[in-house]
Structure 1
Amino acid sequence: MESFQDAELTWRPLVRDDLPLLAGWLHEPAVARWWNHDSTQAGVERDFAASIRGEEPGEDLVICLSGRPIGLLQRSAIADYPDEAAGYGAVVELPPGAVQLDYLIGRPELRGRGLGTLMITRVLNSTWTDYPDAPAVFIAVVAANTASWRAAEKAGLRRVAEAPMRPDNPLDDPLHYIYRVDRP
């Protein structure tokens, strides 16, 4: 099995030309299972174009392995999204300036090989510079998504709560694990 520890992992903002690729990732069964997102071109345009135009407070980042797009990571100040802030705030103490992450690996052959952990770790490291006022980073994961919460744990986040939150997929139980890491 290939190790990714020395891999060239970079990220850049999502651009309009990425939308067909993102639609394909969101349509891929293992991604669709957890993201439950409209993967039509119209749906992706509707939900991601504001980010591309700079009208969205959060970041949609295309993750690249050796220059080749392999996934998406969303990063934002939690307070910029009142519904998210209310969801977190109902179950954990949410310090002002806290950041949240959400992520997917769009290429099936790259899943289950430690790349998610590496992706989270490297973006976390840059978050402390990119968000200088962020005291902590949070990740909320539906409890049934074992691969996702294991990646968060391996990246150094600790589980701080288990609570019901609205899942992306209505088929899922609302139980979520909340992970946190504080600024080093």
Structure 2
Amino acid sequence: MLAGWLAEPHVRRWWNHETSPEAVQRDFGPTMRGEEPGEDLVVSVGGTPAGLLQRARWHDFPGYVEKIAPIVAIPAGAVTIDYLIGPPELTGRGLGPRILAAAVTGVWQHYPDATAIIVPVCAANRASWRALEKAGFRRVASGDLVPDNPVDPPLHHVHRIDREEPGCHP
């Protein structure tokens, strides 16, 4: 299923992964087996698999923290997410912001000490960063990072959402 999603043009454009069984096993197997920190979760809509959600603590991957440091400081305990909608017929229907809102709730529940979710997105991937904004994230920085797909320029937008403090509501 995941290999099929990664092969879809709308996913392949941004994820740029090999889709052979060996490559999928190499890239996703260690997390699935608990050998690497983080989680790969299947997103379901009405009981039908619809996508992939990855979530992890930034500081479990110090190399990534180092790469983004010139753009934005990552606080201790901060989490990042990555996501895709697999079946092409489910794209363009407003699912992205709904999935992301559910992902935020899941992060707050699963990582009780996390104070922020910070997500860098290739600036060219307008649909992705617009979905983050619709789900309540705000753009906090922009800067150059190595893109997942070498055809893209390096400009990325960094989006963030903070956990609300109890009793503090706008």
For the criterion TM > 0.5, the same-fold answer is yes
1:22-48 residue CA offsets vs partner (Å, 9 max, x unmatched): 000001111000000011111001111
The alpha-carbon deviation at position 88 of structure 1 amounts to: 2.3
> RMSD value over aligned CA atoms?
0.8
User: Residue 124 of structure 2 aligns to a residue in which SS?
Assistant: coil
Deviations 1:84-142 (A, max 9, x none): 11122221121100000110000111111110100000110121121011110011110
Aligned residues: 164
Q: Does 1:59 align with 2:39?
A: yes
Partner of 1:33: 13
| 1:115-130 matched pairs, under 5 angstroms | 115-130=95-110
The DSSP-based 3-state class of the residue aligned with 1:30 is: helix
* Letter matched to residue 120 of structure 1: L
Q: Which runs of 5+ in 2 are unaligned?
A: 165-170
Q: Give the residue type in structure 2 aligned to 1:164.
A: D
Give me the identity figure in percent: 54
- The match for 2:122 among 142, 153, 157 is 142
Is 2:6 the counterpart of 1:23?
no
1:86 to 55, 58, 66: 66
Alignment deviations for residues 49-105 of structure 1 (CA, whole Å, 9 cap, x no partner): 111211110100100111111100110000111221112222112110000011000
Q: What SS is found at the alignment partner of 1:93?
A: coil
Please state whether the residue corresponding to 1:79 is helix, strand or coil. Answer: helix
Q: Give me the whole-angstrom Cα distance separating, in 1, the residues matched to 2:44 and 2:59.
A: 28
For residue 167 of structure 1, what is the aligned residue in structure 2? 147
Inter-partner Cα distance in structure 1 for 2:77 and 2:119:
14
Structure 1, gaps ≥5 residues long: 1-20
Instruction: Describe the SS at the equivalent of 2:56.
Output: strand
Counterpart of 1:114, as a letter, is: G
| Letter paired with 1:105 | I
Q: Counterpart in 2 of 1:151? A: 131
Is residue 42 of structure 1 aligned with residue 25 of structure 2?
no
Distance in 2 (CA, whole Å) between partners of 1:132 and 1:144 is: 33
Query: Which residue identity is paired with 1:47?
Result: D
**In structure 2, how many angstroms separate the alpha carbons of the residues matched to 1:56 and 1:68?**
27
Please tell me the residue identity of whatever aligns with 1:118: R
